[in-house]
Amino acid sequence: MFSLTDEQKALVDAARTASVVAIGPTVKADDETETFRPEIFGQLGAAGLCGIPTAEVWGGLGLGYVEYALALEEIAKIAPSWAVCVAVNGLPQIILTLFGNDTQRQRHLPQLASGEKLGAFALSEPGSGSDAGSLRTTAVRDGDHYVLNGTKFWITHGGYADVYVVMARTGGPGPRGISAFLVEKGTQGLGYGKKEEKMGLRASPTVELVLDNARVPAENLLGSEGDGFRVAMSALDSGRITIAATSVGLAQAALDCAAAYACQRRQFDTQIIDFQGVGFMLADMASKVETARLLVHKAAWLRDQGQPYSHIAAMAKCVATDAAMAVSTDAVQVLGGYGYTREYPVERLMRDAKVMQIVEGTNQVQRVVIARHLKRTYGGG
């Protein structure tokens, strides 16, 4: 995609304006104090940013993942923490759209898409990260309820979310024994453990979720028993595009800061961008950002067209998150001593970038996905 439609340009402008107004004034302080401001969701929702790919009939904008990626990039330029928050809030919407019934959709989608409700996704556990099929949280049918027991880790919006999509085991071992449930805030037996103290994304809360005989109505089962692993993987395929788009915005923000500084900073009566050591570094940074952006847009376009996109989403996630880490690190280097201080945003961006290579499946897992696709394509047995 090499040019934007008028509608896409308007969405980008709206995302940029809303992010500057709603997030910009407190982004530095919120990072330093690890403060999450859930009221910001209402402001972003009012700008249409909380339900971009959700159908209009369910309260969203009914746009595609290309538009979603464009908006997340703009949010991430101001605060990657908030781009991740918006992306995570979108996961229950994706799941409800693909696997929910109309009653479940009507109950949750309009308010999630407007930012009135906050959503979360609960898959990972203390002993189950990349190996999602080995999760141990259980769900046992008891009349018209399921009783859930277990602990979930790394839950974005934990303690704040109004609805969690929780994966739990209803059957035997392995992926086929996993089911997906909607667990609402206030459910008896739903509790919260420690809040993680993180290196980056400090304005986005990550909290342990505890299920202690949590009674969940059977009507909150998503799809059928045994569908949970498919639900989770479908969400993660889409989530890799959103994390990649967030990483592009992060990298662009780091490049913008470094390039502007290199044009302003003078040494030996010369702008430092004119020194090859700096100029070539910036050239490589810019090339990485553009490469990542194009791959993200291709993955998003394939999803919008209903074409296979899992392996391209994995590539986009790898390339974009690696670019974000490299570009933000080089941005700190370009700024020298100033880059290591909080006077400029690049040190925060560098801290935020690291986790992008880990969430939604580590980049090592993404390379496994890509290699498996190559094996199937080239007949590797």
pLDDT digits (tens, 9 = 90+) for 58-97: 999 999 999 999 999 999 999 999 999 999 999 999 999 9
Q: Supply the pTM of this predicted model.
A: 0.96
Binned at pLDDT 50, 70 and 90, residue 207 comes out as very high
DSSP character for 173? S
- For 154-168, what is the mean pLDDT? 97
Structure tokens at 103: 């009653």
pLDDT at 134: 85
Residues 6+ apart with CB under 8 A from 200: 80, 348, 351, 352, 353, 354, 355
Residues paired with 271 in a beta bridge: 266
Classify domain 6-117 by CATH number.
1.10.540.10
Q: Does the structure show a pLDDT above 90 at 381?
A: no
Domain parsing of the chain, residue ranges: 6-117, 120-226, 230-376
Indicate whether 180 pLDDT > 90: yes
- 239-276 in b/e form (b: 16+ CB < 10 A) is bbbbbbbbbbbbbbbbbebbbebbeebeeeeeebbeee
Separation CA 64–CA 54 (nearest Å): 9
Looking at residue 379, its pLDDT comes to 87
Tokens 């995570």 locate to 88
Beta strands at 119-122 and 163-169: parallel, antiparallel or unpaired = parallel
Question: What is the per-residue pLDDT across 230-283, written as a single tens digit (0 to 9) for each?
Answer: 999 999 999 999 999 999 999 999 999 999 999 999 999 999 999 999 999 999
Give the pair of three-digit tokens for residue 196: 């993680």
As a whole number, mean pLDDT of residues 98-112 equals 97
Instruction: Using the predicted structure, report yes or no on whether residue 157 has a pLDDT greater than 90.
Output: yes
Tokens representing residue 376 in the block:
């199937």
The catalytic residue among 73, 125, 347, 360 is 360
Choose among 209, 27, 213, 200: nearest CA to 138: 213
Do 110 and 136 touch, CB atoms closer than 8 A? no
Torsion of CA 12, 160, 356, 94, to 10 degrees: -60
If DSSP codes are grouped into helix, strand and coil, which group holds residue 288?
A: helix
b/e code 306-332 from CB counts within 10 Å (16+ = b): eeebbbbbbbbbbbbbbbbbbbbbbbb
Position 381, amino acid:
G
Tell me, yes or no, if 360 is annotated catalytic: yes
Confidence band of 1 (pLDDT split at 50, 70, 90): low
112-133 pLDDT, tens digit per residue, is: 999 999 999 999 998 887 777 8
Instruction: Say how far apart CA 266 and CA 335 lie, in whole Å.
Output: 12
Helix (H, G, I), strand (E, B) or coil at 57: helix
Integer angstrom CA distances of residue 325 from 185, 250, 300, 338: 35, 9, 22, 18
Q: How many CB atoms lie within 10 A of CB 151?
A: 17
Q: Which fold has domain 120-226?
A: Butyryl-CoA Dehydrogenase, subunit A; domain 2 (2.40.110)
Q: Which residues pair with 178 in a beta bridge?
A: 169
Residue 345: DSSP 8-state: T
> H helices within the chain, ranges in order?
6-22, 27-33, 39-46, 65-78, 80-99, 102-114, 228-264, 276-304, 310-335, 346-356, 363-377
Which pLDDT band holds residue 380 (cuts at 50, 70, 90)? confident
Topology of domain 230-376, CATH: Butyryl-CoA Dehydrogenase, subunit A; domain 3 (1.20.140)
Q: How many CB atoms lie within 10 A of CB 364?
A: 11
